[in-house]
Amino acid sequence: MCGIPENLIRALKVAGPDNLTVVSNNCGVDEAGLGVLLFNKQIKKMISSYVGENKEFARQYLNGELEVELLPQGTLAEKLRAGGAGIPAFYTASGVGTYIEHGGMPIKYSGKGDGKVDIESKARPTAEYNGRKYVLEEAITGDYALVKAYKADKKGNLTFRATARNFNPPAATAAKITIAEVEEIVENGELAPDEIHLPGIYVQRVIKGVKYDKTIEKLTLTREKNESDSKPKSADDEKRERIAKRAALEFRDGMYCNLGIGIPTLASNYIPKGVQIELQSENGLLGMGPYPAPGKQDADLINAGKETVTTIPGSSTFDSATSFAMIRGGHVDITILGAMQVSQFGDLANFMIPGKMVKGPGGAIDLTASGSKVVVTMEHVAKGNQHKILPVCNLPLTGAGCVNLIITELAVFEVDKQKGGLTLTEVSKHSSLEEIKEKTGCPFNVASELKVLERE
């Protein structure tokens, strides 16, 4: 909902075209943003990276009413950028060893409630460069791009605010006709050449939006600590806190870090003294600050989890294609993210249960293929004491052989990628080796010097 062309979406609903193929990182939320067109059954196919909390998006997909092609978020941004640059295809490491390479991901279910698939993704060609495998991705172009900017001059030059830039510039370059919706139109010359983010050569039409709701999906604020606010922590809260505290020990001074939603983000509250890190958010922010104080929230400034955040001195903002160039280029030092399953070989699955639940890969596939250190933080078992650490993942992979370290409330495992196995290095004081063996679904080695889980 950040940086979306609200007025153009509303106008498209009224105009009523249907059978649309829509390329967007996600589809808004239920009955807001692109969700308006989804509810109105105007969309035939979505090319996206993330379903998220949009229940109607998930319902239509799982019931065979909507075609959905799920792509890694960085690949989606780069496919648009390449389309606008006249590059028909490119190779990327994102998705190697997953459904992206091998195909078979459901694009359209039969809709008969039998879980059968009418259309599935195809395998991609691969090639090796410098001993590493890459998959071939084709560029995306469109008939129209509907984008949102902050200001435009009468030549169509655009400027954007904060993280509202996201996918707008690459999308604008990739269309035959780009219509830019803006908050203000100024005379030529009022925007300094150095402050223009997208030149008018890419923009054919400009409109000034009638009104802006600028919906904030997750209003997240700081508040002063007060005794009346303090509540006893639940067992789940204490568990999550233990995992986050241990994950924070992986931070090193000067690191550039990308933290996933939930426990990984919580880890930033426990950065060791004397350690300074830079938080990178893949929606276009480097140098992420804390949550804003009440009344100081900015709808144009959110993190990848859709939460309101702030900047700090030295922060920078950019579009999504630039953000994922940082990630794929290996400039981010560490990634911490959650998981549904991890294998003893370091394979990771964390974005869908076919036919039942789908969140979408978002930026995780790009992050786990970047060559940075990958740390998984998760509860040791799922509901019903189902194993989450397994010999082989049985859910679609986010990344193959990508995980370096697994941190749970019970233990820490290192992944030996050469030998393909796990080594238990730390055990919680609240647990025992016998419990860990019982709750881990694969064999593992035990370190010669087994430590107590640090910072409990």
Over residues 249-270, the pLDDT tens digits come to: 999 999 999 999 889 999 999 9
14-33 average pLDDT score: 94
- Domain annotation covers residue 220: no
Instruction: Decide if 446 contacts 433 (C-beta within 8 A).
Output: yes
95-123 average pLDDT score: 93
Give the pLDDT band of residue 48 (cuts 50, 70, 90): very high
pLDDT at 225 over 60: no
399-407 average pLDDT score: 96
Mark whether 288 and 419 lie in a shared domain. Answer: yes
Percent of the chain with pLDDT over 70: 98
Mark whether 140 and 42 lie in a shared domain. Answer: yes
Which of 147 and 31 is assigned the larger pLDDT?
A: 147
35-54 average pLDDT score: 94
pLDDT at 376 over 50: yes
Distances (CA, A) of 198 to 65, 73, 332: 36, 21, 26
Mark whether 263 and 197 lie in a shared domain. Answer: no
CATH number of the CATH domain containing 310: 3.40.1080.10
Give the pLDDT band of residue 224 (cuts 50, 70, 90): low
The conformation of residue 382, written as its DSSP 8-state character, comes to E
Mark whether 323 and 373 lie in a shared domain. Answer: yes
200-215 average pLDDT score: 96
Tens digits of per-residue pLDDT, 152-203? 999 999 999 999 999 999 999 999 999 999 999 999 999 999 999 999 999 9
Mark whether 299 and 197 lie in a shared domain. Answer: no
Instruction: Decide if 91 contacts 136 (C-beta within 8 A).
Output: yes
Q: Which residues fall within 8 angstroms of residue 224, CB to CB, at 6 or more apart?
A: none
- Domain annotation covers residue 182: yes
- Domain annotation covers residue 266: yes
For all residues of the chain together, what is the average pLDDT? 94
Residue that the structure tokens 């370190």 belong to: 447
Catalytic residues: 282
* DSSP per-residue codes, 241-260: HHHHHHHHTT--TT-EEEE-
Q: Please tell me the predicted confidence (pLDDT) of residue 234.
A: 87
User: Which pairs count as long-range contacts for 385-388, CB under 8 Å and 24+ apart, including other chains?
Assistant: 385/439, 387/439, 387/440, 387/441, 387/442, 388/339, 388/340, 388/341, 388/342, 388/441
Q: Tell me the residue range of the domain where 395 lies.
A: 236-452
Q: Please tell me the predicted confidence (pLDDT) of residue 228.
A: 45
Residue that the structure tokens 């999504």 belong to: 320
Kindly report which listed range (69-83, 216-230, 234-248, 362-376) carries the lowest average pLDDT score: 216-230
337-349 average pLDDT score: 96
- Domain annotation covers residue 215: no
How many domains, in total, are found in the chain? 2
Give the pLDDT band of residue 229 (cuts 50, 70, 90): low
pLDDT at 121 over 90: yes
Mark whether 120 and 260 lie in a shared domain. Answer: no
- Domain annotation covers residue 412: yes
Q: Which of 208, 228, 246 is the last residue of a domain?
A: 208
pLDDT at 4 over 70: yes
Residue 120, beta-bridge partner list: 106
Give the pLDDT band of residue 114 (cuts 50, 70, 90): confident
Tens digits of per-residue pLDDT, 271-328? 999 999 999 999 999 999 999 999 999 999 999 999 999 999 999 999 999 999 999 9
Q: Please tell me the predicted confidence (pLDDT) of residue 280.
A: 96
Mark whether 251 and 203 lie in a shared domain. Answer: no
Give the pLDDT band of residue 115 (cuts 50, 70, 90): confident
- Domain annotation covers residue 85: yes
> Percentage helix, strand, coil, to 5, in the chain?
25, 30, 45
Tens digits of per-residue pLDDT, 49-103? 999 888 999 999 999 999 999 999 999 999 999 999 999 999 999 999 999 999 9
- Domain annotation covers residue 44: yes
pLDDT at 31 over 90: no
pTM over 0.85: yes
Instruction: Decide if 29 contacts 53 (C-beta within 8 A).
Output: yes
Q: Which residues fall within 8 angstroms of residue 83, CB to CB, at 6 or more apart?
A: 139, 140, 141, 142, 173, 174
Mark whether 175 and 315 lie in a shared domain. Answer: no
- Domain annotation covers residue 219: no
Mark whether 197 and 266 lie in a shared domain. Answer: no
Mark whether 155 and 289 lie in a shared domain. Answer: no
Mark whether 200 and 322 lie in a shared domain. Answer: no
10 Å CB burial of residue 210 (0-12, 13-18, 19+) is: exposed
Mark whether 204 and 260 lie in a shared domain. Answer: no
* Beta carbons within 10 angstroms of residue 299's beta carbon: 20
